[in-house]
Amino acid sequence: MDWDDIQFVLAVAREGSLSGAARVLGVNHATVLRRVTGFEQKLGLAIFERTARGYRLAPHRARVLAAMQAMEEAALGVGRALTVARAPLAGLVRVTSTDSICQAILPPIIARLQAEAEGLRIELSAQNQHADLARMDADIAVRPAEALPDELVGEVAGRLGFGVYAAPGGEAGWLGLSGPIARVRAARWMAETIPQANIAGWSDSFLVLREMAAAGQGRAVLPCVIGDGDPRLARLAGAMPEMNVDLWVASHADMVDVPRIRLVREMLLAALRQDSPRWLGQING
């Protein structure tokens, strides 16, 4: 199998046309045509449907495309490894995130990154205050959000699931979210649904809420990555509609192209994407 053919197929699938793919790849569109048709003939399998307006993925080919995209991810990983080998980057990269993510998701990933890029120092800072992503005393932010402000450039690493958790016997009242995290959709749902009078305690930290819930003070809306691992808590099925939020990995637009920051951001993104399936929790998933 010719690995290069897959790059052509991917580009055509993304752009929706031979000409578009040719522009992206920087080759003649005739080349794209011959590579793609040749690939299909070698395989005896149609990947695309031809229309006059362009190429569209044939039905029942989503799985094939997904496998190819996984291969592209791996190819980007090779590129990063080569970058590191070629010019061992040094310096400090500051990563900021919420305290929950800093505890439940990032540590093993940061440790792996540290090991892969020696010479680079990665600093992890937990800050729930600047969750608005505007003022950011860091090089890279890992934040749940529905959209990214203009000053920041980044990509989505995956989706965080939320659930309602309580200790056995502690399902009486509710625990409320204050501060910036109150903006995530699950928190807004709670603000709209639960009367303030029923709320027994407040915090701006999911970790603190988890401890309060574990102590039996009430039900708390928590990210599944926080709640599912805790043996003291049980998830209340059907207590809230399924609400997921994107987790972004972003940098200031000005800092996007600083080599060491770009490298860490890309490695972080790849590692988070690999980890992301478990974020949805055991019911949402």
Partner DNA sequence: TCCATCCTTTGCATTCCTGCACAGACCCCC
Partner DNA sequence: GGGGGTCTGTGCAGGAATGCAAAGGATGGA
Applying CB under 7 A, the residues found at the interface with DNA are 17-20, 27-31, 33-35, 37-38, 50, 52-55
Q: Which two tokens stand for residue 210?
A: 């988890």
Reference 79, options 262, 278, 282; nearest CA is 262
- The least CB distance from residue 220 to a second copy, in Å, is 19
Please say which residue, 27 or 240, places its beta carbon nearer to DNA: 27
Partner interacting with residue 182 (select from DNA, a second copy, none; CB below 5-8 Å by kind): none
Taking the least distance from each CB to DNA, the nearer of 51 and 125 is 51
Q: At closest approach, how far in Å is the CB of 51 from DNA?
A: 7
When the beta carbons of 5 and 246 are compared against DNA, the nearer one is 5
CB of 16 to DNA, least distance (A): 7
- The pair of structure tokens assigned to 186 is 């699950």
Please report where in the chains the tokens 């996007």 appear, as a residue: 256
Cβ atoms of 58 and 12 within 8 Å: the answer is no
CA 282 from chain centre, in angstroms, equals 18
Query: Own/partner pairs for 64-68, CB < 8 Å, 24+ apart?
Result: 65/10, 65/13, 68/6, 68/9, 68/10, 68/13
Tell me how far apart the alpha carbons of residues 5 and 84 are, in angstroms, rounded to a whole number. 27
The answer to whether the beta carbons of residues 204 and 178 sit under 8 Å apart is yes
CB of 10 to DNA, least distance (A): 14
45 interface partner picked from DNA, a second copy, none, CB below 5 to 8 A per type: a second copy
Q: Which does 143 bind (CB under 5 to 8 A by kind): a second copy, DNA, none?
A: none
HSE at residue 109, side-chain half, CA atoms within 13 A, is 22
Residue 200, contacted partner among a second copy, DNA, none, CB below 5-8 A by kind: none
Minimum distance from residue 49 beta carbon to a second copy (Å): 14
Non-local CB neighbours of 81 within 8 Å, separated by 6+ positions: 116
If the CB atoms of residues 12 and 264 are measured against DNA, the closer one turns out to be: 12
Q: Is 257 exposed, middle or buried (0-12, 13-18, 19+ CB in 10 A)?
A: exposed
Residue pair 180/131 in contact by the 8 Å Cβ criterion: yes
Who contacts 138 (Cβ-Cβ below 8 Å, separation ≥6)? Answer: 94, 95, 96, 125
Q: Please report, as ranges, the residues that interact with a second copy according to CB under 8 A.
A: 1-4, 6-7, 43-45, 60-61, 63-64, 66-68, 70-71, 73-75, 77-82, 84-86, 116, 231
Are β-strands 174-177 and 199-203 bridged in parallel, bridged antiparallel, or unpaired? parallel
Q: How far is the CB of 23 from DNA (least distance, A)?
A: 8
Residue 45 beta carbon to a second copy: minimum distance, rounded to whole angstroms: 5
Nearer to DNA, 52 or 197 (CB): 52
18 binds, among DNA, a second copy, none (CB under 5 to 8 A by kind): DNA
Measured from the CB atom, the residue of 50 and 112 that comes closer to DNA is 50
CB-nearer residue toward DNA: 34 or 188: 34
